[in-house]
Structure 1
Amino acid sequence: MSQKFVKLCVENKKGFWNWLRRWLVIDPERSSGITYNNQYRKPAPGTPEKLYSRPLNLPASDISDNPYWKRDTRRNYPRSGIITQPVLAELLVLGSVEHPKISEPSETETQTTSAVTQSLSTILYNAEPSEIRKFILTDKGVAPQPGNSYQWTLDEKNGYPSTYPVRTFR
């Protein structure tokens, strides 16, 4: 046994328990591997704790204006959009950005659009059904399907596409 290892481990005990250990073990010269208390104990017991230093990852560690719900990416679900009746009435009368119902004013004309003050029921009663159908429904005359219309193509053999890194066993 090397001299350096003997200094680090609890060996060379004297007395009854060392005699019993040497008598019961298969190889009495083999080390138990139990180290002295002052070895491999970092930080050593009883040392004062280091002073806390704030992390340098600002603004994530800043408490002010940084609530947990803004940082929580696990529950960051898509928020549903809400269209109220006045907003829908405005969309039916004025149109949307993609499909405006009023023309852009030229440089010589000054056209002002006032906010819609009529209720949705009045606007729907006075509007033509074909116009409402064209605005709300799709080209086929059905309501738009929520979500994307992506079609998944799965491999019939394994259930996974060939680009997916998974092993299948037979």
Structure 2
Amino acid sequence: MRKTYRHHAGLLTLSAAQSRDLCTSVDPTYRTDDPPARRKRFERFLSIVSLQRLSKAHDSSYPVSHSSESSVMARDVVKAAQSASHVMKVSQKYTVRSTGVWERIRRLLAIEPDRSSGIPLNSQFRLPSPGSLPPLAYEDPVTTPAGDIADNPYWKRDMRRSYPKLSTVSQADAVSLLTVGSQAAPKDEVLQIGEAGAKQLVEVQQEGQERGLAALFEKDQKSIQGVLGANGLPPTPANINTVSQAARSKYEIDSEHGYPEV
């Protein structure tokens, strides 16, 4: 709806309702995000403010320099017009838009003319683009060699589980040691030579896995006496450390009891 102005005392004055409507409302033919309409509303607002200032100065009989006041008004209007001329829609800042008659046709046929096209501008987008660099020319010196998967298994980098593994002896191993002895002290009178000895080791191992130490003690109760000490105590573990006596408490794990050497 058009607003009419009333002339009073030689100056153009507005009522409070009219001033509020002009400052806040928008004509139905204008869009709120249209730069020409935005610039026009801003110029109308500046003219209303300047007219109110002149009316107040005239009613209160303050001495006002009309030349200085008009120059300030003109300068403010020029600045406002310049700033309003550079206003750009958000949808036009970062995406490609059609121009000329094609833009008018698009706005006529589009459901939402101010919607972004989705095609990014090269000046506002990622430059260079992620796929423009050759993959073989890219090197990452920050994560090398930790990020290199070649010859870098996880167990070598796993510091949380780098504890020594326990060495255990099962009942089958104990039956084999008590029956045929060990490599350092074999029982030559029991262990056979050649392929017969290999078959004997397999049979003893299988028997120990199936029946355990109970079957061995039922068969031969004196086989354990050659292993126990003088008081019937089991033997103490041998010291496998090769360090000196002063640093014997230092524990070092080898490849047999720890992680394998790859």
TM range (shorter): 0.3 to 0.5
TM-score normalized with structure 2 length: 0.28
Q: Which has the larger radius of gyration?
A: 2
The structure that is helix-richer by fraction is: 2
- TM (norm. structure 1) is 0.39
